[in-house]
Structure 1
Amino acid sequence: MKPIGYRMQEEGINRFFGSLESRIMELMWASEGWMHVKQLRDQLQEEHNYSVNTLMTVLNRLGEKGIIEKQAGGRGRNKQAQFRAAVSKDVFINQQTRSVTEGLIKDFGEVIVSHMIDVMEEVDPELLRKVQQKLQDAIKRKDHEIEK
C-alpha cells in the first residue's frame, strides 16, 4: 500500500484520514469482514445522517487509495457492493508510520533523530531504553553482515 497524506495538526488515525474516512475505517477494522454500504450507514446514523451516495463516494476514494477492497455481490436489482479493509489497523499504522519516518529521516536525517530522542525523553522515558536496545541489535546485525 502506498503512503497516503499525513495531517500534522490532527491526532491518531485522523492524521491519515478525514473524519468520515476515519470513522468508516474504524468500523471496517472492527467488523473484520465484508460490509455493505447500508450497514455502514446504519452504524454511522447515530452520529450523522449520511446518504448512501456520500458513503459510496468516500468508499470509492478509499478503494482508489488501496485502503479498502470492494467486491460485487448479488444479481440484478439485488446487486450490492461489499467492502472490507485491505489490511488490519495494525498493519496500516505500521506501513504508514514507517513511510512517514523514512521520509523524515531521508529529508532531515540527524535533526529528526535528535528531535525524536528529545521527544521520547519528554513523553516516555521507557521508550528510550527500548530504542537503545533496538539500536544495539541493529549494530550487532550490521557488524555480523560485515564479518560475512
Structure 2
Amino acid sequence: MKMQNFKYEGTGLNRFFGPLEAKIMEILWGTSAELTIKDVQIKLDQDKAINFNTVMTVMNRLVDKGILQKKSVTRSFMYRPVVTREQFMETQSKELTFDLIEEFGSLAVTHMVDALDKVDPDLLDKLEQQIKELKKDR
C-alpha cells in the first residue's frame, strides 16, 4: 500500500497521515486487539473530546485507503490495522526510496550517502556491506 500524500514538513506518522489519522493508527497499532470506533474514541478522549462521528469518518477513510480492516461483529464493527507499524514504515520508506531514485537517479544516491555519513557513520559501513553482498550474489 503506497501512501499518496507524503508531507516533507511532518515527522513520523504525520508525514503520511493527518493528525487525527496518526493518533488513531497509534492507538490501533498499540494494541493487539481489534477495536470499535467507541473504543478508539474513548482512548482519544483522554486528550480532548472528539466527536464519535468524526472518529467514525476518519476510521472509515482509513479503511478506504487500505490501512485498516473492518469486520462486522453483532451490532458493531471491529477495526484493525492491515499491517504492523513496522511493516507500514518499511513499505513507505522503500516506496519513497524507489521514487527518489527513479526521479533523481544518481543525485538521490549521492545525497543519501552524504546523509548517512552525517547522521550515523556506522550506517555507511552497513551500506558498504550490503553493496558487497549484492555484488557477490550477482
Category of TM-score, reference length = shorter chain = over 0.9
The two structures have a TM-score, normalised by structure 1, of 0.90
Distance 2:33 2:6 in 1: 26
- Counterpart of 2:77 in structure 1 is 81
Residue 109 (structure 1) shift? 0.8
- Counterpart of 1:49 in structure 2 is 49
- Counterpart of 1:99 in structure 2 is 95
Distance 1:33 1:94 in 2: 22
- Counterpart of 1:8 in structure 2 is 8
Distance 1:23 1:4 in 2: 19
Residue 47 (structure 1) shift? 1.2
SS of the residue aligned with 2:136? Answer: helix
Contact 2:35 2:80 in 1 (8 A): yes
- Counterpart of 1:72 in structure 2 is 72
Contact 2:69 2:80 in 1 (8 A): yes
Q: What is the identity, as a one-letter code, of the residue corresponding to 1:112?
A: A
Question: Larger Rg: 1 or 2?
Answer: 1
1:35 is the counterpart of 2:35? yes
Moved over 3 A (4+): none
SS of the residue aligned with 1:136? Answer: helix
Aligned residues: 138
The two structures have a TM-score, normalised by structure 2, of 0.96
CA RMSD of aligned residues (A): 0.9
Q: Which runs of 5+ in 2 are unaligned?
A: none
Contact 2:29 2:84 in 1 (8 A): yes
Contact 2:3 2:16 in 1 (8 A): no
Distance 2:48 2:134 in 1: 48
Residue 33 (structure 1) shift? 2.2
SS of the residue aligned with 1:35? Answer: coil
* Identity fraction in percent: 36
Distance 1:97 1:41 in 2: 29
Residue 12 (structure 1) shift? 1.1
- Counterpart of 1:146 in structure 2 is none
